[in-house]
Amino acid sequence: VEEFPPSGSNGVTLRCRSRVKSSCPIQSKDYALPNSSWSQGMMDLYSRFLEMCKDGTWKRIPSYSNSVDHIPGKAFWESLKLMSEKERKDTRLFPRNMDTEGVGFEYAMFLNPSEKRMVCLFQPGPYLEGPSGFAHGGSTATIIDSTIGSCATFVAGRVMTANLSINYRNPIPLGSVVLVDSKVDQVEGRKVFLSCHVRSIDGQTLHAEATALFIRLDSTKSLQQQMSCQ
């Protein structure tokens, strides 16, 4: 597992926005921090996990609105040279693409490295609607893919989703808080197998369960080359 974030403190990664080769990196906003849209249930759960971070068992994972900001260590800086400033500014990480707090995906992830486990506290906002009053199946798939993908990344390095299979058990009410709990079950060469459960805070309702296969990426090849020859 590479150290994350690569620089900075308090979960804040330093990044250069103004010029790719500039020596004056600035801070990217970390979205995995409480805001006024978080419900009491979300805050309580967040505090509980923050408490468990104190002895180093769990680590809070920062989250940014651009995927480049999530690439750890050396690769992060190298990637800056490979991408134009325009390209970086014009794109947004899908689950962080909303300007208004609380309407879309509100979430924060915590990693337990020794258990190869990543949990995600998730509060779906009113813009994630599928059936009236409930989260869209695609938004549930998105938060599962993100959590499970982050888990695989921290355990096995850069990865790409190859298969995602989700059983939807109980619809997730908009505005509620659920815990997405994922873990790496097995690593076989470039294949990383994971499983995941989405439950209500009280643990009484199983909303969804999923299995996934991720493929570890070889940094010398392009994404397309690697995905087309699985």
| Catalytically active residues, by annotation | 145
Contact pattern for a copy of itself over residues 188 through 207, marking x by CB under 8 A:
--------------------
The C-alpha atoms of residue 177 and residue 200 are separated, in whole angstroms, by 7
Contact pattern for a copy of itself over residues 131 through 170, marking x by CB under 8 A:
xxxxxxxxx-xxxxxx--x----------xxxxxxxxxxx
Residue 151: how many CB atoms within 10 A of its CB?
Answer: 30
CB of 166 to a copy of itself, least distance (A): 5
Rg (CA), the chain: 17
| Binds a copy of itself (CB under 8 A): choice among 6, 20, 127, 187 | 127
The C-alpha atoms of residue 19 and residue 3 are separated, in whole angstroms, by 25
Helix or strand holding residue 105 (H, E)? strand 105-112
Distance of CA 14 to CAs 7, 93, 150, 158, 174, Å?
A: 6, 18, 20, 20, 34
Query: Does residue 84 bind a copy of itself (CB under 8 A)?
Result: no
Whether the CB-CB separation of 139 and 171 falls below 8 Å is answered with: no
Query: Does residue 129 bind a copy of itself (CB under 8 A)?
Result: yes
Piece of the chain touching a copy of itself by CB under 8 A; list 14-22, 96-104, 180-188, 190-198? 96-104
Which spans of this chain sit near a copy of itself (rule: CB under 8 A)? 66-68, 79, 83, 87, 90-95, 97-98, 103-104, 126-139, 141-146, 149, 160-171, 174, 223-224, 227-228, 230
